[in-house]
Amino acid sequence: MQVQSDAQPYDTINITPMLDLAYVLLVIFILMTTAGVQGLTMNLPKPSNKPSTEKHDVKIVQVQEGGSVLINGVGVSMAQLENELNQAKSKDPKFNVMIKGDAKAPYSGVIQVIDLVNRLEIPNVGLVTGKIGT
């Protein structure tokens, strides 16, 4: 038996097993991350096909930078705000309240207004994220 002396040295690496391992690890990573994601359950309102013809009053409550509160552009105290909202609720139980906090307003002022609205059990409340009337 004769050994060939002019054989070329083995200078390439077979990367097929390494690619198989990479693909298996990628599939495991994808499966584990999608299995671990927990979503929020939300009950979103369903749109109706007919437009609403009901017109309800809207009260816009703004919390200013210094902590002062405005209702429809008029400065009020928290007690006056409560009276205004009570009067509006007695006139129209389905009236709307929009709460807007200035970017530099103390967050506690916005929370106080939200707590007041919740205490008065006003159902139609929204938080304004854009500019009002400008």
Angstrom distance (rounded) from CA 116 to CA 78? 9
11 in a structural domain: no
Q: What is the tens place of the pLDDT at every residue in 11-54? A: 778 888 899 999 999 999 988 887 766 666 666 667 666 666 66
109 in a structural domain: yes
Count how many residues are written for the chain: 134
Q: What is the mean pLDDT of residues 80-93?
A: 88
39 in a structural domain: no
41 in a structural domain: no
101 in a structural domain: yes
- Is pLDDT above 60 for 129? yes
- Per-residue model confidence (pLDDT) at position 24: 95
92 in a structural domain: yes
User: Residue 123's domain is classified under what CATH number?
Assistant: 3.30.420.270
Angstrom distance (rounded) from CA 28 to CA 24? 6
Enclosing domain of residue 112: 58-127
Q: What percent of the chain is modeled with pLDDT above 90?
A: 10
Angstrom distance (rounded) from CA 30 to CA 60? 47
Count of the separate structural domains present in the chain: 1
Pairwise pLDDT comparison (67 vs 42), residue with the higher score = 67
Give the pLDDT band (50/70/90) at residue 132: low
- Per-residue model confidence (pLDDT) at position 59: 87
Tell me how far CA of residue 58 lies from CA of 7, 24, 68, 116, 131, in angstroms.
91, 58, 20, 16, 16
Q: What is the mean pLDDT of residues 66-80?
A: 88
3 in a structural domain: no
* DSSP classification of residue 77: -
12 in a structural domain: no
Give the 3-state secondary structure of residue 75: strand
